[in-house]
Amino acid sequence: MKIFIDTANLDMIKEINSWGILDGVTTNPSLIAKEGVDVRTRVREIAEIVDGPISAEAMSTTAEEMVKEGRELASIHPNINVKLPMCVETLKATKILSSEGIKVNVTLIFSPLQALLAAKAGAAFVSPFVGRLDDIGQYGSDLVEEIMAIFNNYGIGTEVIAASIRGPNHVLDATLCGCDIATIPYDTLKKMIGHPKTDEGIAKFVADYEKSKKN
Ligand code: G3P
């Protein structure tokens, strides 16, 4: 499974990229606002750090404007894909942008049939929001599993990005159903590394090594 980081913070991106495990980056207007930067500048900076897909969200509301904004965003760097929220205008814009070779990530996916429609319109990626479904008492990971089953049934090549990830269990659920990508917040990535038995094991090896040096 590919691992993306879900942030617009350059320090976090640089740190996780240095681990050698990072395949791409997703941003959204809320993450960009947290950084107090302009989306175009920030995605250009990210593209200079990470060699992989980078999602930049377009804020237009009509298909015509989405296409114009999408072309502008995609022209910033070859790795930039255009993130658009699921709606009719997005489907129309996705059809046009994808026919021009511009990759679209259809976001705010909350049902498997939304994912199917986005894929049929030519989306390169769909982003089901796991955590936000958990927030309203549904089991968000089921959505990812259902989308994977549909895409596998029909040989659909659109990649599924498990998004709105809130902890390591969401990442594990995504891997178990063969999800293509998880876009993971920095804190969750840090939690994925550690295990108390690993720490205990390292401490014991170090202590035994120190003892053996004295013999
Ligand atoms: O990738 C989408 C993600 O940024 C949304 O996460 O935690 O705001 O639901 P969250």
Residue 205 class from Cβ within 10 Å (0-12 exposed, 13-18 middle, 19+ buried)?
Answer: exposed
- Position 124 scores a pLDDT of 98
Nearest CA to ligand 1 atom 6: 164
CA distances from 121 to 38, 65, 83, 124, 194 (A): 29, 17, 14, 9, 41
Which residues are known to be catalytic?
Answer: 83
Residues 6+ apart with CB under 8 A from 135: none
Q: Report the distance separating Cα 166 and Cα 172, nearest Å.
A: 11
Q: Which residues line ligand 1 (CB under 6 A)?
A: 6, 26, 28, 127, 129, 131-132, 163-164, 183
What is the model's pLDDT at position 214? 84
> What is the C-alpha R_g of the chain?
19
Contact 89, 123 (CB under 8 A): no
215, amino acid identity: N
Residue identified by tokens 């404007």 is 65
Place of tokens 């709105």: 164
- What are the φ and ψ backbone dihedral angles of 157, each rounded to 5 degrees? -90, -5
Out of 12, 132, 138, 170, mutate this one to test ligand 1's pocket (max ligand atoms within 8 Å of CB): namely 132
Half-sphere exposure of 198 (CA within 13 A, CB side): 5
Residues of the chain predicted below pLDDT 50? none
Identify the pLDDT of residue 204: 97
Q: Of 109, 129, 165, 186, which is best to mutate to test ligand 1, by the most ligand atoms within 8 angstroms of its C-beta?
A: 129
Regarding pTM above 0.85, the answer is yes
> According to the model, what pLDDT value does residue 105 have?
98
**Encoded tokens for 41:** 């500048």
Can you read off the two tokens belonging to residue 83? 């993130």
Residue-level pLDDT at 215: 74
